[in-house]
Structure 1
């Protein structure tokens, strides 16, 4: 006999199945029959009184058609950052009424699309006239739609710009909001999804011509829900901020020859560095390093409008044509930016290192600095290489030379530590003044870049160590070890190129580095690097320390970029509170919320990464749209049951070859080996194989590219009989091909010798 469910079990089921709170629904779910329905009715009555179930009777509803407790969906955000919600199901006349969501202390962070069970109350003269207070967050729904509006007799349809979306959306005549045919629009789903027919949507915003160059990043901003305009209250706070011109209680660091080294087009400069020979005779050949970081905490106080907006954004997002900053330009581009020859408040770190690059001591201070110069990476590198004219007079010998000497020492320590040697080439999309792609080039990696990175890594380690020693909570940057499944997939890829990752050992970065070094300067170098990168877990923020595997560090906390990362601002506040440097340190409320904040800013970081990647895909598709029919060289970058992904050598663009276009034979997919094998020919296609393709389709709005495979490893695919890919036992020619590949792997191992 099925046991009768408890009240909590029924409450949880209703929470997980919104809109199905009737007695019949619950009775069916728990197989309640006969006399049990009387007890069920009593429990449902209690849950309704407690607000766990929205009012179900029309008589319970007020004149506005809403019950005291309703299931709502967050549909928009006001200029002040407040959330607006409306009923998930609306049967009244006109447009659904909106309610202003009133957050409660300690409540969950909500976003557009979240479904929430709320208690509603009228507000006399309010706009909107209702307030909603959270009872329980039910879940999130993918209700936002971004796409191209296509007019039709019945109203219209929306073609989504997301290439992964599998359907269109129907728009009724009264829900088009004036949208015109071919316009880029944003919409929200209305009503529940039906089994039959297209889901319905209402246009909420018209965004203009989708083919306009500036629309490319705008699509990503709206598609991923990245806030791109600041509420008036936030702008007002930023405008009222005043510069700090005198040290006061700060340590005066204006005589230290600090300077900034950034990209040539940088607007925000949040870190400055310098190195001085250590005069201590006991540290012969050692250096005193200074790392000074913009004191954003001085301007962005806990609980302020600036702080709330910065936490909501989590980080700045960078596109080829624009930046969506975490802070308004009055701060990020001015008062918090360490411009040359102006005093700026800073959080500074003095580090003593030996000639071997090992840290001997460090201390933090809150100071006032003045940058000697704002240099581009290229100028600093030119000065280090002997062109003193590339920088202002005196800097080459006085500042640049000791910086490079200190970097040489730090590099020794770095080599002993052996972080991952992943230094993948980064492609840069070059735009014209009109916003159109003119070229795609590799970003040059200079020692100037590596110098700044090494200084910043050391500063981040010092921050984590100091806060841990002082027993203060902080936000760690965590990178855990790769999981076993990904390591097995990596082993399969490595075997294809004759390399081996031994089993049964504790994973260390040195093992991966040996593989990367063995593949260096070979045609497999980039593929091996990408495969190692894909085997890694994704880094995230947490108040709990699990170390940083990639950097081979036991503790690590982001300290060096508070203009563009909220995590760094929290670390600054933790240091301020730890040393008693002011009232703007980490608050007890923030300490309690560290876990929640860490999850939120990890999500905003991933959101930005996806938006940046999608934007690059769309720019590349637009760049290649005029070259449909052209042939390109590339390498297989992904293998799936439905086809192959190929990355082009020239631009780094990724495109799909559907399995149906691989020839007239049946291909079997092996997810472990990441291969497709032709059943008739035995042809094996795997990661990293060189391929010649023809571009058959480029869709800038979605960023989608379709290729036709001309040859793989210099050979055209044989013609067979089947068409589809699938799974099954290999036999015949495929088995023979496997033996050939194993023989090739063995031969490669012998040829590569100790490099494996």
Structure 2
């Protein structure tokens, strides 16, 4: 070619050949030689100045397109589990392109904020602009911190709220994002360490006053990344929902179903009834009904509501608020089984014999009308002979419920599920969100009644779906790890108790150990050690059984308002019984394994957030007791010191090594103990302790204490005579070992010479 190409021709060439954009590549493509190369260079420069091209180190490219290989930042996964990314650099005038990551087998797992070098392919006409294949991951997600911002002359610093995180972060001028001194902020790392070796940060979100009582749960929500605001399309779908009628359903409105819940319950997703079985072949038996809110009728597969519910996985409960899985229009209204209101349900009718064993069951999709919305305490009072005006007319129904529970309890005793005695704390708040009291929740027969009914319904759901070969999510609880079991055995032996060896472990063996400890000073220790020995329950499409409940088939069916796993089981039942087109979708089935992983993770996230929030409330409650002496029991031991569970509140206070007497302590990881180098005192889990509370940090939830006595005896109070204070003493045999090292050095020296 003897003349220059047009600018449009150059742009088309660069778009079609993104890997050949250097000046020499363009010249070669259009046959440009000699003096015309100077003109081509001028034209390319002019196009770059006009914004039609972007000059890169090794060539030119269209700024409205991404290069074939580029650095990407991974975005948060969608509700469907898809990963998208955004380019690190985008100079186009249009919207930033949407990039779908296509993982291959063997690619490392990616999380939000990770950076990768990706090979891009344009996908015109698709939902995304590009797809990307990972070449390599080049950086992990930037570190994030939640803390209190403190302004100073050079910008500021962030004091983290996470318990045990002592390192502060520096904030340069211009990176404060308008934050005020003392505000709670979220920040991310911004470059290498700053002054004094501290990491640099830029503030990305301001969260308000950390001292405000209602900021306690807000801290946990942001710290753990729990979605707490519904997108508008989700709210619109919920607001557009209408009550479900009788069409295509059984009329169950003449059945005297009752709901029994906590006094402050906002949603009621289960109702129960028990009737004597009139079949002559089942003397002393009962017919049990458990009706569960039909959430699947409102939350359809693939809808905005469904995507958001899957993303959240479950509701999260704090003392001052609930972060629900579903908007209140559904969770508190259309799906809540309110008294005297027709509500859509999936119900299971079960027959049990006099021994409490289930001898049959069947499922129904219907419409019910609750005869009463009762609280646990008033049901218990009625059973104990003190009915209220509300429960008096329902006494015959309640007594039959209790008789059926007595039969279920006999079956439970025969099955021997794990019977841990771990009281649950209840934090009472005033209207401003301040803690007024900390107590342990009552465990009433009314609670246990509902639990046994729900367990049996969950078993029935799992058995039905297994029999019908329908995919579902099982609730799995595997056997304890052998190493953890051995640790439990050592704790038991140290307490003078026994846990048999050399046999297939059953929950009955653990219950025997718990029974040995019951009523003794070691009871709390043995219960805590047994809990630590257990694996964590999770969701899985494969059935590995439920060890803790001693059940072979178990699935969560009874709480679809607050758990996505239960919604999946409801859809599976709908598909198995061919009740409608709102059952399991093909996508539900294809992503079942990924859904199980996701909701197992969200469950753990909620548990951690709830635990951290309780710790912060307890620290705020105990802040007025600094300097006081409080009794407790050693609940944990680590290299940092020991943890004492305080009487009355159950709060865990850290006693650092420096506050355990005045001597050096050897930590033994295997036996979970400390031994004083001078006194020989041994500290183990379960011992009674008296501590003096020294610090309480409501923002982090941390409590620091000094150990005063152990099992009513004073702890060693000083270093051995002649030894420098704070100097770690030699372990037994250390002098002999060092002499051996010196002798070997001398021998090697003589050999060389």
TM range (shorter): 0.7 to 0.9
Question: 1:259/1:103 Cα in 2 relative to 1: closer, same or farther (>3 Å)?
Answer: farther
- Residue in 2 aligned with 1:373? 372
Secondary structure of the corresponding residue to residue 655 of structure 2: strand
C-alpha contact (below 8 Å) 2:184/2:207 kept by paired residues: yes
Q: Distance in 1 between matches of 2:733 and 2:535?
A: 32
Match of 1:701 in 2: 699
1:649 aligned residue (636, 647, 650): 647
Q: Distance in 2 between matches of 1:403 and 1:468?
A: 29
The question of whether the paired residues in 2 share the 8 Å contact of 1:277 and 1:288 is answered with yes
Give, in whole Å, the separation in 2 of the partners of 1:499 and 1:533.
17
Q: Secondary structure at the match of 2:645?
A: strand
Q: Helix, strand or coil: the match of 1:413?
A: helix
TM-fit CA distance, 1:133? 4.0
Residues of 2 paired with 1:249 and 1:607: CA distance?
39
Q: Secondary structure at the match of 2:346?
A: strand
The verdict on how the C-alpha distance between 1:224 and 1:255 changes in structure 2, with shifts beyond 3 A counting, is same
Alpha-carbon distance between aligned partners in 2 of 1:352 and 1:630, rounded to the nearest angstrom = 57
Aligned length: 668
CA apart distance, 1:64:
8.2
Contact map agreement 1:287 1:353 (CA 8 A) in 2: yes
CA distance in 1, matches of 2:422, 2:76: 39
Equivalent position to 1:480, from 478, 481, 494:
478
What pairs up with 1:153-302 in 2 under 5 angstroms?
153-191=153-191, 197-244=197-244, 246-302=245-301
**Hey, what's the Cα distance between the residues in 2 that align with 1:153 and 1:202?**
16
SS at match of 2:174: helix
Please provide the CA RMSD for this pair.
Answer: 3.1
Structure 1 match to 2:20: none
Contact 1:82 1:100 in 2 (8 A): no
Q: Tell me by how many angstroms 1:202 deviates.
A: 2.0
Match of 1:744 in 2: none
In structure 1, list runs of 5 or more residues that go unmatched.
Answer: 1-54, 733-756
How far off is 1:591 after superposition?
1.1
Pair 1:115–1:384, CA change in 2 (3 A): farther
**Mapped partners of 1:516, 1:471: distance in 2:** 38
Does the CA contact (< 8 Å) of 2:462 and 2:553 recur in 1?
Answer: yes
1:673-692 correspondence to structure 2 within 5 Å: 673-692=671-690
Provide the residue aligned with 1:395 in structure 2.
394
Tell me the SS of whatever aligns to 1:282.
coil
Aligned counterparts of 1:213 and 1:81: Cα–Cα separation in 2? 35
Could you state the TM-score of these two structures normalised by the residue count of structure 1? 0.83
Q: Deviations over 1:672-720 (max 9, x none)?
A: 1110001211100000000000011111111111000011111111233
User: Following superposition of structure 1 onto structure 2, how do residues 10-49 of structure 1 map, counting pairs within 5 Å?
Assistant: none
**Matches of 1:194 and 1:437 in 2, distance apart?**
39
SS of alignment partner, residue 200 of structure 1: strand
Separation (CA, whole Å) in 1 of partners of 2:730 and 2:147: 36
Query: Residues of 1 paired with 2:423 and 2:300: CA distance?
Result: 39
Corresponding position of 2:352: 353
- Provide the residue aligned with 1:27 in structure 2: none
Contact 2:150 2:182 (8 Å CA) reproduced: yes
* Aligned equivalent of 2:488: 490
Structure-2 residue corresponding to 1:617:
615
Instruction: Look up the match of 1:735.
Output: none
Give the alignment of 1:455-474 within 5 angstroms: 455-474=453-472
Q: Which residue does 1:337 correspond to in 2?
A: 336
What is the rounded CA distance, in whole Å, between the counterparts of 1:130 and 1:403 in structure 2? 56
**Distance in structure 1 (CA, Å) of the matches to 2:602 and 2:60:** 40
Matched, 1:386 2:385: yes
State the partner residue of 1:7.
none
Aligned partners of 1:669 and 1:725 also within 8 Å: no
Q: Deviations over 1:651-681 (max 9, x none)?
A: 1100111112212322111111110001211
1:380/1:390 contact within 8 Å kept: no
Q: Distance in 1 between matches of 2:729 and 2:229?
A: 48
Q: In 2, Cα distance between the equivalents of 1:582 and 1:476?
A: 23
CA distance in 1, matches of 2:464, 2:123: 50
Q: 1:694 to 1:210 in 2, by over 3 A?
A: same
| CA pair 275-726 structure 1, distance change in 2 beyond 3 A | farther
Per-residue CA deviations over 1:54-84 (Å, capped at 9, x if unaligned) read x995646764897444333346799999988
How far did 1:361 drift? 0.4
CA distance in 2, matches of 1:114, 1:339: 46
Structure 2 unaligned blocks of 5 or more = 1-54, 736-753
Tell me: CA distance 1:237–1:281, structure 2 relative to 1, closer, same or farther (3 Å). Answer: same
For residues 476-517 of structure 1, the C-alpha deviation after alignment (integer angstroms, 9 at most, x for no partner) is 000000001111111121122111112211111011101111
Partners of 1:70 and 1:458 in 2: how far apart?
55
Contact 1:477 1:539 in 2 (8 A): yes
Partner residue in 2 for 1:501: 499
> Aligned runs of 1:546-561 on 2, under 5 Å?
546-561=544-559
Contact map agreement 2:100 2:128 (CA 8 A) in 1: no
Kept in 2, the 8 Å contact 1:80–1:233? The answer is no
Q: Is the 8 A contact 1:220 1:612 kept in 2?
A: yes
TM value normalised by structure 2: 0.83
- Once the two structures are TM-superposed, the CA of residue 201 in structure 1 deviates from its matched residue by 2.3
2:425 match: 427
Shift of 1:174: 2.1
1:174 is paired with a residue whose SS is: coil
In 1, Cα distance between equivalents of 2:730 and 2:285: 61
Match of 2:40 in 1: none
Q: Distance in 2 between matches of 1:61 and 1:658?
A: 60
Map of 2:536 onto structure 1: 538
- For the residue of structure 2 that corresponds to 1:685, the secondary structure is strand
**Using a 3 Å threshold, how does the CA distance of structure 1 residues 64 and 161 change in structure 2: closer, same or farther?**
farther
- CA distance in structure 2 between the aligned counterparts of 1:80 and 1:557, rounded to whole angstroms: 22
Distance (whole Å) between structure 2 residues aligned to residue 306 and residue 122 of structure 1: 31
What is the distance in 2 between the residues matched to 1:727 and 1:93?
64
| Displacement after TM superposition at 1:111 (Å) | 5.5
Q: Secondary structure at the match of 2:197?
A: coil
